[in-house]
Structure 1
Amino acid sequence: MEKKLLPQILMPGTIKKSDVNEQSFNIINEENIKKISRIVKKLPQDDGTIVVWLLVDPSFQKYELTSLQQKIELWLEKKLGDEWDVEAMTIVVDHEWDIEKLEDDIERLVHKLCVQYPFSYFAQIPTFGDPIVYQILFLEGVRQFTKRYATIYFDGENVHVEHTVLAIHSETWMKQFRDFIIDHDYEAALEMMKDIEETEETIALKSLLHMMIDRLNFAFEDSLAHLKIAMMYLSDEDVLLETKKNLELLLDKNMKKRDLARIVELYRHIDMYLDMDDVISLLIRFYRVREAILFYLLQHAQTIPYTVEFAKKSTIYEVFDELEEKYSNWEIDGYYGAYFYLKSANVAGALNVRNHSFIGHSRNKVDVKTLWNSYFGTSRTTYTKAKRRFIMDTMIMLRDLGVMPDENIMDINRLLLQLSRKIVLKGK
């Protein structure tokens, strides 16, 4: 069987916002591009995917990073030719260079690649990028891809691919535990802690896992209670204060604030399921969030406020008809971006995949290819690009509603991974 390479290139330097704002888009040195192009042409395969790793400063917002990844992928693909897809991975680095945070972030991203490309070889190209980050990438590539790790050497004329064969060791408790956290399988992670000795760290860790389990089941009061227990031991963590604020908004007595907070929370879940490639859970949430936004518009976008009686509708299109009539009569105004996005063929096509599957009105499986092709509008794309389009569209739509998405669930995951390190250091 041919060994399909997944070339890994760590670009030098750290990208700042000012680099992106330049019209020339001069983020990657032209000489490096030429060198990469020469290497690619010499590889023992004519096509594939190249993973480009980029260090970025922490001033970027989530939507800006997504936009940056899109731009870099399109730009590099034009330079390298149609045969190669580019997948951009961004690593946020602060001025203090927190090595443990770097290791946690790279571990998560390499794990994602390992799942996404189960038969490809993690093939690093040396001589590019920061040596510390390169070393972390090397260690994670070897650890997670095991027998599927290679190094691509280039002498200026020829390419030599050196495959590294390692003995596969049995999974350690900690690796499995961290993999469960990275995969957002909080119940499995909690089950693994059943016989772990109680310390302040383990109590906090268990409480946070309970909090996330309740949160994903929409039990927000229980989730908040578990969070408060964790905060007794981790009171100085900013992410917990942010999470507490989010959960309190989800329970707010002000209906408009609460309804909007629940829309944002649904999109946090969707973002998580996108990261996991769990399209079934994603479609379930996406279907619900479309309903939630439509009813939010009916209730809270009125020009003359009054209480809306939500009569049961046989189809979602009846809700659209009601909204259209109210917009036409100026009974509702504003949020036009959200309204037309939800009416778009992209959204309808994606949710039609749900309707024709076992989670809708049929017994068929969810067709992942049709899902993303329907959303993107063409089959001439990759899953990664279609998902990026989805993320960008979501951010624009949420901005129209007056909110910005955050990475609260991902930040909680980082904290969980950080806490697991402390348990290891104490020999637990």
Structure 2
Amino acid sequence: MAATETQTPARTAHIRAGYHPEDAFTGVSLTPPPANDIWFKDDTLTDRYGRGTRYRYWYALDLNTGELWYGDTDYRQDDEHLIAQLPGYLRKHVGDRTAPPNGVITRLISPVGYHPDHGYELHVLTAEELYEVAVGVLPIAQRIVETMHRVGPRGELEWSAAADTAWHDFECATEPTIGGGTITWPEPVIKPVPKWCHEAAEFLERHPELIPAEWATASDDELDRIAAYHPKGGYGGVAGYLCTSGDREIYDGGWGGHTFLGDRTALYAYRAKAAGDRTATPAQEWLVTEAGQKALTAATAEYGPLADQHDDQLAQTAARLQAAATVENLLLHGLDEQLRHRRGADRSAVEDLLRRQGAEVARLQKLLDDARKLRRPTFVRVLGWSSERTDRVLGELAGMSHTAVGEVRRALEAAEPDEQA
């Protein structure tokens, strides 16, 4: 278990209550199609297959609790409504690297088989038969739930190389062979992780020279973004991201054709290891503490408000805050991102203030322009009464500068000849 994986009690794979013979299978409700809905390749009819051939069984495994149970689908529903009937997710729908959102992974089983002498047939299973298969795959289910990665404080699920391998074992053990009126199930086998399947942590250990220094203090969001890296072509996840950013080929390390799992686990574990004996702490949580607020106040007093800091000043602020946190034996992660976020928010607030101030200036400017239009004819009348008043006196009377009064006077005098003409 990686350093940042959630420590939880051991999980034991078990069959859900109500799905045992001793429970009289009270939780099981199977509704197989009637015989008249099961037919194959009848060229005399419009439909070549009866709707009963859509019938499926399923096994569901709760990756959080280890609970295993089973059931069937409604054959009367079209295929597009199949997924909605299942208690969990098919792995092909969530992706090989993604755990199901509700923690329940579902295995769909077709009871249709083919025999060269007998053709196609649908084998109806009983609750007892489904139970026997469930008992047989319990060790595989145990292997899956105990080797799943559980990342971060919330214990979010992530496939490991071992869990991925065990899931494929589960699929193999629940793939029956049907034909000639019989059904056989493979012997459940737990295989070792194949040599081409690896934990992403192995790639990091082999290629430390590719790892950016900032990963040691990256935020959860940043690490999750790297883990979710998925280019249109080539490798994704940690290995693909590092090879792309480092201008390297995956084949340079002899990894061609290999698969990597556990990207988030690898990244969180790397960050935890980089913290050493310090406690990795989200920057946003520390900044609201008394120590964090005091350190930020001191930094902004020296380098100015965050909104006014350039990138180099913001980096100095980050270094000062990290130093203050180190005194408490803490390693802040996501600090740069948090400071940039705060600077962006502060700048948005300043811009909003400027926007409001600009609107107020525009409003007052319009009032001023309207007032000046109303004043002008009155001023012109007074100006025409007598030339004995100086421009300064008239300016004080009209709320204008003596220079502005002079400009109006000269403009009026220049217009008089035109009017007389």
| TM-score by shorter chain over 0.5 | no
Largest Rg, 1 or 2: 2
TM, length-normalised to structure 2: 0.24
Structure number having the greater helix percentage: 1
